[in-house]
A = this chain, B = another copy of it.
């Protein structure tokens, strides 16, 4: 690549970088987009090697009442599917009875948690696990033995949203305030990546270009890669928070000159990163009930002894039923850190870990589980360019500061991605809007669009 001169250098070909590149291109601004992988999409990746398109990363539209990307897909008649029924809940002894009213108690537990922080913004944070046990302690006389045993395990469903274990999860920021239903992107999220790619000149996109350093001055920026330098007026940095958080001396870390201000490195140290992982299990036939999803709870006794190697029923797992979406005999399991890391390092061990749960799901419809005919395992935690899934808050973390710092940027150095925005944080549409935001910032500065009240 040696040395290239362009107007805007975009680092990262995920949806934030692609949206920024697309918007800038549409105004005639020249861009160079550097992507470390040999493909675009970042943490969007649709595996099309099986019976249906399987999104190994992002797969839902969230907050669909307020999601501009969802509204685009809606107009394009993408295949959208709501798989948002209450899950069938199972333990190692079989399905939980509706009469146990676990969801009702869960709802109260979440309200208990919310009240604490609503009443005082300064209430000290704690882990989701501690919160759950405190609730059980306070309400013990009002709960059945089954509720006491299982509702703490049920709240761990949140592990499969944030990709982290409840011991490591901030109670304050665990609860997600959904703005509308979640819609499964049945057409595959890669269709949106492909549509964006079509709006950017082929020559602007450089794959397998790993950024090693960023020099900045008032005049412009110089982005160093393994094969050369890009000289630009602006850079939009969309690498994941996990990469941005690496020390300059760590493998994969970006060397900044001058170094990143302390306000940014401090804010980065105040936020964590999850590892939501997926295992796609294709079978010869669907031997499970006709339910949207199956939430297998951890065994409360097993859950207290954590081993280096995860064992079945030690962690909650959420299985999504692809039969109702695509008519294929496939279950997709969602995992959390540290299980994701283990399974992604040892993908051949995935089935052994999940098999006892799948057998219980089969029994719930009076069937017997057969071994999978195909197993696909995500690689987010082992891939050096993602290092996990998306930002997540540990107890005491503050998600706001990093968003404030990165959305403000550093003059000609701009930041975009799911970790740089409040509305849609951790989501595809948040990343997309952040790319739009940074393109607009540059367009305003270049005098190509008018400043509006929103800027």
Q: Which residues of A contact B (CB under 8 A)?
A: 64-66, 74, 80, 82, 84-85, 98, 101, 104-105, 107-108, 111-112, 115, 141-142, 178-181, 183
Alpha-carbon separation in the docked complex, A81 to B180 (Å): 32
Alpha-carbon separation in the docked complex, A141 to B112 (Å): 37
Q: Is the CB of B181 within 8 A of A65?
A: no
Q: A65-B108, A108-B180 are in contact. Are A101 and B74 (CB under 8 A)?
A: no
Q: A74-B141, A115-B65, A141-B74 are in contact. Are A181 and B84 (CB under 8 A)?
A: no
Residues of B within 8 A of A98 (CB): 85
Residues of B within 8 A of A115 (CB): 65-66, 179
Closest approach, in angstroms, between the C-beta of A86 and any C-beta of chain B?
Answer: 9
Q: Is the CB of A179 within 8 A of B111?
A: yes
Q: A74-B141, A141-B74, A142-B80 are in contact. Are A85 and B104 (CB under 8 A)?
A: yes
Residues of B within 8 A of A111 (CB): 65, 178-180
Closest approach, in angstroms, between the C-beta of A360 and any C-beta of chain B?
Answer: 21
Q: A112-B65, A112-B180, A180-B111 are in contact. Are A104 and B80 (CB under 8 A)?
A: no
Alpha-carbon separation in the docked complex, A112 to B178 (Å): 11
- In the complex this chain forms, how many copies of it are found? 2
Closest approach, in angstroms, between the C-beta of A423 and any C-beta of chain B?
Answer: 12
Closest approach, in angstroms, between the C-beta of A175 and any C-beta of chain B?
Answer: 14
18 additional contacts, CB 8 Å, given A74-B141, A111-B178, A115-B179?
A64-B108, A64-B142, A65-B108, A65-B111, A65-B112, A65-B115, A66-B115, A74-B142, A80-B142, A82-B104, A84-B101, A84-B104, A85-B101, A85-B104, A105-B181, A108-B180, A108-B181, A111-B179
Closest approach, in angstroms, between the C-beta of A422 and any C-beta of chain B?
Answer: 15
Alpha-carbon separation in the docked complex, A104 to B64 (Å): 13
Residues of B within 8 A of A82 (CB): 101, 104
Closest approach, in angstroms, between the C-beta of A307 and any C-beta of chain B?
Answer: 36
Alpha-carbon separation in the docked complex, A337 to B111 (Å): 31
Residues of B within 8 A of A108 (CB): 64-65, 180-181
Alpha-carbon separation in the docked complex, A74 to B84 (Å): 36
Closest approach, in angstroms, between the C-beta of A32 and any C-beta of chain B?
Answer: 39
Listed by A's residue number, 28 A-B pairs whose Cβ atoms lie within 8 Å are A64-B108, A64-B142, A65-B108, A65-B111, A65-B112, A65-B115, A66-B115, A74-B141, A74-B142, A80-B142, A82-B101, A82-B104, A84-B101, A84-B104, A85-B98, A85-B101, A85-B104, A104-B181, A105-B181, A107-B181, A108-B180, A108-B181, A111-B178, A111-B179, A111-B180, A112-B180, A115-B179, A142-B183
Residues of B within 8 A of A65 (CB): 108, 111-112, 115
Name which residue of chain B comes closest to A75, CB basis.
B141
Residues of B within 8 A of A178 (CB): 111
Alpha-carbon separation in the docked complex, A25 to B168 (Å): 52
Alpha-carbon separation in the docked complex, A306 to B111 (Å): 39
Alpha-carbon separation in the docked complex, A82 to B102 (Å): 12
Alpha-carbon separation in the docked complex, A180 to B143 (Å): 13
Alpha-carbon separation in the docked complex, A180 to B101 (Å): 14
Alpha-carbon separation in the docked complex, A115 to B66 (Å): 10
Closest approach, in angstroms, between the C-beta of A145 and any C-beta of chain B?
Answer: 15
